[in-house]
Structure 1
Amino acid sequence: MAAVSVFFLTSAARAAGTIDYSGSISIGIGILQAGASHAFEKKTGIKFTSIDTAGSGKGIKALLQGKASLAGLTRPIAPAEKARNLVAITIGYDTLGIFVHQNNPVKNLSTAQLKGIFTGRITNWREVGGENAPIAATIEDPNGGRAAVEMLRKIVMGGAPYAKGLKQIESPLDQLKHTARTENGICVVNLGIFPSLDPAFGKRLKVVMMNDYAPTPDNIASGRYPITIPLQLVRESPPRNEERQFISFMLSKEGQAIVNKHFVPLQKGH
């Protein structure tokens, strides 16, 4: 009962005219910090007092605990979350990009090959057309609630467990930096955060095709590139006015133009 009381006190104490965000790094960095929070504040006077990119799972927990008023989610909302009076609104689409070092000759991986790498069945690049070198794959904590590892496991790996011993790096930006330093490295992270990476690292990376398709907006929208990820804003029901206004802003022409900087907006094939 005490925990419930804390929740209501925290919610009631939140200042009018403010929003506290927690959740997906793609939405936090690639949308909010890429212009949406500033444009929305300029338009309405409503200010984002915090943008916490702790990941989708932790964002939902923060919302339920009253520590955030808006969460970012890059996986389908779970039935148990809907049952807690949470509502998810899709504002665009992202995908998972397969990143390797620029010197890696591999240009394309099939779903089966990618599954083999992350389940541990494939351990050398020569097994997928590359050099004779051990594959150095990195992932985020498989149990940390990050949407990328959950979606990779569901869509590519068919629910199979990750191989034991894979190097775990919590931040997807740090995964990209590690892969840029590691000629036999590979990581699979949200493509939309790549523009936020320091160009000194970005120029040492390349994106690999999957099943002969590159993750272009047209291939993502059509489903030819198989890993499509919804970008969702999650709020409580009924919503506060501040969150309702921000979601309406993100669905507007101005908001969708911001989504279009790094992601696929709703009007492109969805």
Structure 2
Amino acid sequence: MKIKKRNLLGVCLVMGALVTGCGGKKSTIIELKGSDTILNVSQGIAEKYMKTHPNTKIAVTGGGSGVGISALLNKTTDIAMASRSMKGKEYDQAKKENLNIKEIVLAYDGITVIVNNDNPIKEIDSKELGEIFRGEITNWKDVGGNDSPIVVLSRDSSSGTHEFFKEHIIREGKKNSMEYGPKTLYAPSNQAIKQEVKSNGNAIGYIGMGYMDTTVHSLAVDGITPSVKNVSNKSYPIARAVYWYVPTASDKETEINELVDFATSKDGQEIVKKEGFIPKGL
């Protein structure tokens, strides 16, 4: 009895997941975990890479930057995706685990502040933005809008975007203990925030610029729009790098380095651009 070709392919894929590819060639599974902000772009890079590297299988999952970095430190992922820099205490933990970790800048991003399309506000300054997200300004009329309560949306605490926004907007780049306001609503993803802002005329939130579309309106911050040009020249006040963190020594070191080389190559950075982020070369 002959096995249909498509069934044989299915066997190959299953066997690939078990680390042995068809034809007896050993397959390598590389796991990426972390930032939801760069989940889509990392998946795009992985899919393109696997087309030309059939013996490498790549699994990409989200959960937030903190989740990815913790997994890297616990040696349960090969690459941590992060939309914030690793913290000093995380590097200290890595040292205790005898892990040497390399920081790879994958792309640049502008955290985009969004409101409902019917909101008349078109721009805001970073001081007012901090006051809104700390719960000190609670009505749109106080920043030139309608007499309506402000509904504040943030990413949850596992998100690197949550941390970056807190450091640079809520805490105004200073060392203090200021936090998100008590009525802040927390969402697990960029998409969840965008959907709520789309349906709620009083909402304000923030997303990675790669998730921006016409269903919501972006605000200029300090008079500067979150554009490719303004993020590239660092004039936009909430611009940042996004990262892959990789161990410098592992049993998959060669395969991981080859994937990193592709991600930072011209072809990889074209995917970065397609997904709405700023390539490293700009």
TM over 0.5: yes
What is the aligned counterpart of 1:187 among 196, 200, 205?
Answer: 205
Q: Is the 8 A contact 2:46 2:58 kept in 1?
A: no
Match of 1:171 in 2: 189
Partners of 1:123 and 1:54 in 2: CA distance: 30
Match of 1:214 in 2: 225
Structure 1 segments of 4+ aligned residues over 6 angstroms from their partners: none
- Give 2:108's aligned amino acid: Y
TM-score by length of 2: 0.82
Partners of 1:111 and 1:56 in 2: CA distance: 24
Q: Is the 8 A contact 2:37 2:190 kept in 1?
A: no
**Cα deviation digits, residues 86-135 of structure 1 (max 9, x gap):** 22110210121001000000000100110010001100001111111000
Partners of 2:101 and 2:278 in 1: CA distance: 24
- Give 1:163's aligned amino acid: G
Match of 1:267 in 2: 281
After TM superposition, the structure 1 = structure 2 runs for residues 82-231 of structure 1, keeping only pairs within 5 Å, are: 82-83=91-92, 84=94, 85-141=100-156, 144-158=157-171, 159=176, 160-194=178-212, 202-231=213-242
User: Does residue 29 of structure 2 align to residue 53 of structure 1?
Assistant: no
Q: Is the 8 A contact 1:20 1:51 kept in 2?
A: yes
Sort the Cα spacing of 1:78 and 1:48 in 2 relative to 1 into closer, same or farther, 3 A. farther
Match of 2:7 in 1: none
Q: Is the 8 A contact 1:19 1:46 kept in 2?
A: no
Q: Is the 8 A contact 1:40 1:46 kept in 2?
A: no
Match of 1:10 in 2: none
Match of 1:241 in 2: 254
| Larger deviation, residues 41-50 vs 68-77 | 41-50
| Larger deviation, residues 41-50 vs 52-61 | 41-50
State the Cα distance separating 1:50 from its structure 2 match: 2.2
- Give 2:111's aligned amino acid: L
Runs of 5+ in structure 2 lacking a partner? 1-16, 20-26, 95-99
Sort the Cα spacing of 1:101 and 1:46 in 2 relative to 1 into closer, same or farther, 3 A. farther
Partners of 1:150 and 1:54 in 2: CA distance: 14
User: Across the two proteins, how many residue pairs are aligned to each other?
Assistant: 245
What is the aligned counterpart of 1:32 among 3, 24, 42?
Answer: 42
State the Cα distance separating 1:237 from its structure 2 match: 2.1
| Larger deviation, residues 95-104 vs 84-93 | 84-93
| Larger deviation, residues 203-212 vs 117-126 | 203-212
- Percent identical: 26
Q: Is the 8 A contact 1:21 1:69 kept in 2?
A: yes
Q: Is the 8 A contact 2:109 2:208 kept in 1?
A: yes
What is the aligned counterpart of 1:18 among 20, 26, 29?
Answer: 29
Larger Rg: 2
- Give 2:124's aligned amino acid: L
Match of 1:6 in 2: none
Runs of 5+ in structure 1 lacking a partner? 1-12, 195-201
Q: Is the 8 A contact 2:29 2:59 kept in 1?
A: no
